[in-house]
Structure 1
Amino acid sequence: MTKQSLPSMDCPWGFLDGIKVAVDPWFWALCLSDMRWLRNQVVAPFTEELVFRACMLPMLVPCAGPSRAIFTCPLFFGVAHFHHVIELLRFRQGTISGIFLSAVFQFSYTAVFGAYTAFIFLRTGHLAGPVLCHSFCNYMGFPALSTALEHPHRLIVLSFYVLGVLLFLLLLFPMTDPHFYGWPTPICSLDSTQPGSLCS
Structure 2
Amino acid sequence: MLKPEQDLVIMEEENTYTRCWVCVLSCLLLACVYVGSLYVWRSSLPRDHPSVIKRRCASVLLVSALSPAVVKVWIHWADVKVDVSVWELMGVRLEGLVPAALLPLLLTMVFYLGPLVHSAFDNPSSFTGELQSALDVQSWRQCVRDAVWLRNQVVAPVTEELVFRGAMLPMLVPCTGPTAAIFTAPLFFGVAHLHHIIEQRRLHKDSMRVILLISGMQFLYTTVFGAFTAFIFMRTGHVVGPVLCHSFCNSRGLPDIIAALQHPQKSPLLLSYVMGLLLFLVLLFPLTDPFFYGVTPVCSLAPPSSLCLPDPVK
Identity of aligned residues (%): 60
Mapped to 1, the partners of 2:224 and 2:246 lie a distance apart of 12
**Partner of residue 82 from structure 1, selected from 190, 194, 212:** 194
What is the Cα-based RMSD across aligned positions, in Å? 1.4
- Please, which runs of 5 or more residues in structure 2 have no aligned partner? 1-117, 310-314
- 1:179 matched to 2:262? The reply is no
Deviation of the 1:83 alpha carbon:
1.2
Mapped to 2, the partners of 1:148 and 1:108 lie a distance apart of 22
- Please, which runs of 5 or more residues in structure 1 have no aligned partner? 1-6
Deviation of the 1:22 alpha carbon:
1.5
Mapped to 1, the partners of 2:203 and 2:164 lie a distance apart of 28
Deviation of the 1:14 alpha carbon:
5.3
1:199 aligns with: 308
Instruction: Supply the AA of the counterpart residue of 1:187.
Output: V
Listed as ranges, the matches of 1:1-200 within 5 Å are 10-13=122-125, 15-183=127-295, 185-191=296-302, 193=303, 195-200=304-309
Deviation of the 1:144 alpha carbon:
1.0
Mapped to 2, the partners of 1:171 and 1:24 lie a distance apart of 31
Mapped to 1, the partners of 2:162 and 2:218 lie a distance apart of 20
Deviation of the 1:54 alpha carbon:
0.5
| TM-score normalized with structure 2 length | 0.59
Instruction: Supply the AA of the counterpart residue of 1:189.
Output: S
Instruction: Supply the AA of the counterpart residue of 1:30.
Output: Q
Mapped to 2, the partners of 1:95 and 1:170 lie a distance apart of 42
Deviation of the 1:17 alpha carbon:
3.2
Instruction: Supply the AA of the counterpart residue of 2:225.
Output: F
Mapped to 2, the partners of 1:43 and 1:15 lie a distance apart of 25
Mapped to 1, the partners of 2:162 and 2:126 lie a distance apart of 36
Q: How many residues align?
A: 191
Mapped to 2, the partners of 1:48 and 1:130 lie a distance apart of 10
Q: Quick one: structure 1 residues 14 and 103, their matched pair in 2 at CA, closer, same or farther if it must change by over 3 Å?
A: closer
Instruction: Supply the AA of the counterpart residue of 1:199.
Output: C
